[in-house]
Structure 1
């Protein structure tokens, strides 16, 4: 194979088994997968926040100039994105949700914006985390580790671990007095459990709290020394998924600490 500096012309050879030759030929002659920009949407907002924090950009014009050097700018026509309009919309939204502040033409990060960058989370999650931490300040239950585990239970795992109503109710009924107090403080009281036991669906914000508390109970069982195998069997989950939950919770707990700092 030719290498830069050794020569201008080179050849590459791929060695494969005879029975794989046809498959290799099909692979080499097939169409290439498209590489599409993921900046459109929240990705653009995350880029802007990071760039402002690093001092790369400080005005709307410099933000647009930076975005014009991105893959999104190259693919804007194919993706149907009006880049100047998308940048303006992203800036307006970041100001509206309190991530950025405007002083004339100058853009600066707010406190929660800086916390989101330090924690490496997007603004939607940062707002939700901030709200949960403020609520916890009013009534943090330290009788056991369950409430603390709830605060570091990753939001991203809610879509990966399906909520099992019957299993949740069974585990809830077996909670000790200290753990039950945590559930009550979070809003998961007897009325909520009664609705779940008769097959009703919890709606609104409480639905997410119940689902997240369900994941916290999985982490709590592991925290108390139960094996991965027994916990996965108890909650009828693959061991790999339970392990992913633990890893995600560990990473998210570090993000929560950095966010609070």
Structure 2
């Protein structure tokens, strides 16, 4: 490391205290003419840094593309039903915004478009922006060589600094890493060391890796015999790296053990095809439970738990409201990340009807248990933590379906709005998976019709009257509400609408959007009509082997 230059920026005593890393000096060398990214270790840090930088930017920054920044704020308010994050309200006029998973997907998309267009010139962001989002910059600043408390890996570091000076977009790019003395040696290794090796994770997470792979191979009939499956494994990255990765067991032993595990779990069944002194040839076929897991793309770590929960649910399914069904479709993989706020938990529990409280009782979570947790009392009786956490997430989803407002639910449960939206998206996806799971198992016939409607509600998360409008391409919640209030209350109304009349009736609707909405509504209506026509023809079709049967003409029907 050698000396480069001194920063040409006068620092007051106040600024030195507020900005010991000299971020203000570093970003003002670049913005607003060019773009800049500041990577921060945590989400809260992103917001704090964005606000701190704006405090010390001159008023001149407010004039840069002022009208367009005003439009960005207006669009943010519109998409969030009048809500606007106070941090963004303060920073966007300066051309600055934060970017992390706490934002909703619509907010992220809008801010990314504004950044790409040059309306916003500075993002304070977490490392998640480094992968998958194409947002290049003239200068990239890493505020610390950490992601949360973990020191940066070289591959992630390269991803982050790779945003600077993207070929074909910019001619120059530079990255700046801010260090403390204690991190100097590690940082030197980070900058000069080789990239980490890439290894197969197929066996590290058996249920998501090798077990799911084997179930898919047999379910799709790509490979059904032990020999064919073993041969397939040789062609995977894991098969190529087996000498490096396998210390105690051979690839053959892992293949045999994995198939035995799936057989023991009741997901596969083994058939002995031929038996000789030298060799036993085994074929495998998928069981009903295996096919349900495969068709529903259920994580194999949870398929037995899901089966047990659905079975238990049949014993006392509460249909007074959606609460019981919502619990059954709350994703298992989000449960471990959940940390309930016990005061909120107790308050939400007390808002349930007696029938809904019975659902919690069936799950083994009593009001007294939640009350004791809220008051900090010791609890002797053991309660399944995963069930308790899953029920808490169910409260969030249940409240969200009733209020259909991510902002109010986020505030009510003190959770980031991005987290609430991710939970909703995960629940909609998992509900669809559970539906496909139930379609393969006759005993769960009762769930099929119920889950079709719930999946729709979770997917669109709007008032019931807006769901049909939300099916139209290009119509989100705000637009659906505008259309509904203007008298377009069904697909038929929209399909028969005149695009020119729509433009005059609906605010901020372009001619292209109006034509797309009408065209999409017509297509949807036609698809539904064709589906009903096919259903009618199936009902009227008389089996040819029925004695003396004469099929009535469709025209007459």
Answer yes or no: is 1:64 the counterpart of 2:230.
yes
In the TM superposition, 1:185-224 aligns within 5 A as 185-199=362-376, 200=378, 206-224=384-402
- Cα offset for 1:19? 4.8
Would the aligned equivalents of 1:192 and 1:202 in 2 still touch at CA under 8 Å? no
The residue aligned with 2:47 is none
Answer yes or no: is 1:55 the counterpart of 2:218.
no
In the TM superposition, 1:87-106 aligns within 5 A as 87-104=255-272, 105-106=282-283
Answer yes or no: is 1:235 the counterpart of 2:389.
no
- Unaligned 5+ segments in structure 1 are 1-12
- Cα offset for 1:260? 0.3
Measure, in 1, the Cα distance between the counterparts of 2:381 and 2:332.
Answer: 17
Which has the higher mean CA deviation after the structures are superposed, 179-188 or 189-198?
Answer: 189-198
Which has the higher mean CA deviation after the structures are superposed, 180-189 or 246-255?
Answer: 180-189
Would the aligned equivalents of 1:229 and 1:239 in 2 still touch at CA under 8 Å? yes
- Unaligned 5+ segments in structure 2 are 1-165, 178-189, 273-281, 440-557
Would the aligned equivalents of 1:49 and 1:117 in 2 still touch at CA under 8 Å? yes
Match of 2:212 among 29, 38, 46: 46
Measure, in 2, the Cα distance between the counterparts of 1:48 and 1:76.
Answer: 17
Measure, in 2, the Cα distance between the counterparts of 1:21 and 1:169.
Answer: 49
Would the aligned equivalents of 2:330 and 2:430 in 1 still touch at CA under 8 Å? yes
Which has the higher mean CA deviation after the structures are superposed, 234-243 or 158-167?
Answer: 158-167
When residues 204 and 77 of structure 1 are mapped into structure 2, their CA distance, relative to the original with a 3 A threshold, is farther
Match of 1:80 among 232, 246, 264: 246
In the TM superposition, 1:166-185 aligns within 5 A as 166-185=343-362
Answer yes or no: is 1:142 the counterpart of 2:319.
yes
- Larger Rg computed on CA atoms: 2
When residues 193 and 70 of structure 1 are mapped into structure 2, their CA distance, relative to the original with a 3 A threshold, is same
Match of 1:36 among 199, 202, 211: 199
Aligned pair count reads: 247
Would the aligned equivalents of 1:101 and 1:109 in 2 still touch at CA under 8 Å? yes
Measure, in 2, the Cα distance between the counterparts of 1:197 and 1:21.
Answer: 48
Query: What SS does the corresponding residue of 2:319 show, helix, strand or coil?
Result: coil
Match of 2:299 among 107, 122, 126: 122
RCO comparison, higher one (Cα < 8 Å, 6+): 1
- Cα offset for 1:93? 0.8
1:132-185: CA deviation from partner (whole Å, max 9, x where unpaired): 000001110111110011011000111233222232122212323232222222
Would the aligned equivalents of 1:113 and 1:123 in 2 still touch at CA under 8 Å? no
- Cα offset for 1:203? 7.5
- Cα offset for 1:78? 2.0
Query: What SS does the corresponding residue of 1:123 show, helix, strand or coil?
Result: coil
Answer yes or no: is 1:246 the counterpart of 2:424.
yes
Would the aligned equivalents of 1:52 and 1:109 in 2 still touch at CA under 8 Å? yes
Which has the higher mean CA deviation after the structures are superposed, 96-105 or 129-138?
Answer: 96-105
Measure, in 2, the Cα distance between the counterparts of 1:112 and 1:217.
Answer: 29
- Cα offset for 1:189? 1.9
- TM-align CA RMSD: 2.6
Measure, in 2, the Cα distance between the counterparts of 1:63 and 1:90.
Answer: 11
- Cα offset for 1:103? 1.3
